[in-house]
Chain A
């Protein structure tokens, strides 16, 4: 859905005018419904955002194949914001300008948060597909953002349950230096503190750190029962897991966030055996029949070595939910979609444990009905092998 723009760079002012005149053309006519998609194809979130965006497109194709919504075809209008909070609002305004009924975000949390005021002002509903940051739905300007992933706060509760299930009393947290993770950790730590579980060590390193042996050595000295690696993923996650494998005793249970599960390329980057036994916040299990359906659609849309990730299922679920809302209200006007989303109740999601549902009310845009949107998933060897036996959250 890329616009074709003239390369009139010579005279900047005139160039913009020409180019933007071209921009206006692609909008939604009577026969299509525009789904906006703010993605990251060139920045730090490119790795997972591209996977998730592809899933959004596959889900839209599937809906269209089945006859579309209200007899109209869905059309994805997307643009790249590089996960850059200073650029993201501009990208979003442009997409809204093309008549989007709803805007989905597969970009980084920081950029999503920067878009709150944009959605508020334009009165168009926004749907972060992957972000779980509580700040997205906290005032001010939170009326039009709909969170569907299990929030950080609820993830914290789930972790507490997991720690208690394995009798872990002392926890260490390893994180990176990004603002995204700092925001996550704040909420996570509150939940852990409240449950009376002691955090004995807290270390961080830059996302492009050369080495984290120092951090792991300090963690080792604190003698934790379990270690939670809380990063945006990428190289720092691999470095932590590899180093933990070398430095920490065997019996320390390792935990991680969803990032490790959603970046399959990381699995090959880790040393052999480094990920074995790791438990992370997954979101998919074939016990959920709808997840199975999503998997079939995704597998048909991709090549043979495709592995479905949690984000794929969340993307599929988000598209389905929006399609439902539009179908029910009978209109694709943003205001009507907003109203319809607000009355979403007990939507059976395409991820999470079988009884996981998503609901919204006017005052509560934290969609997850409980922590069972989380499926603790365990690594066997170098790949996830399925739901963890020791503990699963309940709704």
Chain B
């Protein structure tokens, strides 16, 4: 395997991992698979590029605005869509899922209407010369994505372990009802989970957009990747999405390398079926959650 392939797996894996971590936080905080995460990432990337290329904003200011949009979208999804539906229907999964799917398309179409329906180039946050690694080289955006991923995972892990809110998030994730009985501020914790999740998804979209650009339709595919990475990694630890993301990237890149182009779709379906059948709670589990 060439070093270039290895670098690609790391790069794509970082992106998948961040999306999966974003899924995990909402799953822990609110017991919802938030399928609108891909569109948050898309919105952040698209808004940033639009602000830079169309309005001439400096990249950093545009990136902050992009992240803010992702965070606001996440918070609004929780407060205006998921909470009202849960309040009315109790714990049923599907109505919330349908609402989230509608939100996914709403963000997609709204982004298309506001920012235009073309492709936009990603904007590099930092510019420096590529770093040579043997025969391959890591470009500035690749390095930025890698460093950001490591930092995000380390920070979230530290936050979950060391801060009061972080510890409570795990408690809420384990059993919302019990947490409520214990008097934990379930609603506040859940809000924080959504905001963090939006922030991480936004960062992921922002940093990955350099690879081939971003368009208003990118969101659905990104959601699927994040979800699969989560399923493969499991929900047992904050590190699980990282492992799931890297494994998914490895399958996606190595299967066409060894078995030809057509293999990627089939390989992913096969991996998903295998995991669902044999290890539905992922590689890293704390307890079986169905």
List residues of A whose CB falls within 8 A of some B CB. Answer: 41-42, 44, 46-47, 50, 202-206, 208-211, 213-215, 217-218, 234-236, 238-239, 242, 246-247, 263, 265-266, 268-269, 271
Contacts and interface: CB of A to CB of B under 8 A. Distances in A.
Interface residues of B, number: 40
17 contacts: A47-B117, A47-B119, A204-B262, A208-B221, A210-B16, A210-B211, A210-B249, A211-B249, A213-B7, A213-B8, A215-B256, A218-B257, A234-B119, A234-B215, A263-B118, A265-B120, A269-B212
Interface in B211-242: 211-213, 215, 217-218, 221, 225
Identify the interface centre among A206, A213, A247: most chain B CB within 10 Å of its CB: A213
Contacts of A208: 217-218, 221
Identify the interface centre among A50, A239, A263, A265: most chain B CB within 10 Å of its CB: A265
Contact of B119 (A214, A235, A247): A235
B215 A235 contact: yes
A240 to B, nearest CB: 9
Contacts of A44: 217
Contacts of A50: 117
Interface in B109-146: 112, 117-122, 136-137, 139
A150 to B, nearest CB: 25
Q: Nearest 9 A-B pairs (CB), nearest first?
A: A214-B257, A213-B8, A239-B212, A269-B121, A269-B213, A235-B212, A46-B117, A204-B261, A214-B256
Given A210-B12, A210-B225, A246-B137, 14 more contacts: A42-B117, A44-B217, A46-B118, A47-B119, A203-B261, A205-B256, A213-B4, A217-B4, A235-B212, A236-B212, A238-B213, A265-B118, A265-B119, A265-B121
A211 B11 contact: yes
Identify the interface centre among A203, A214, A236: most chain B CB within 10 Å of its CB: A214
Secondary structure call for the B interface = helix
Contacts of A271: 139
Identify the interface centre among B212, B253, B257, B262: most chain A CB within 10 Å of its CB: B212
B5 interface: yes
B254 interface: yes
B264 interface: yes
B285 interface: no
B34 to A, nearest CB: 20
B218 A246 contact: no
A217 B213 contact: no
A268 B4 CA distance: 23
B213 A235 contact: yes
Contacts of A210: 12, 15-16, 211, 225, 249, 252
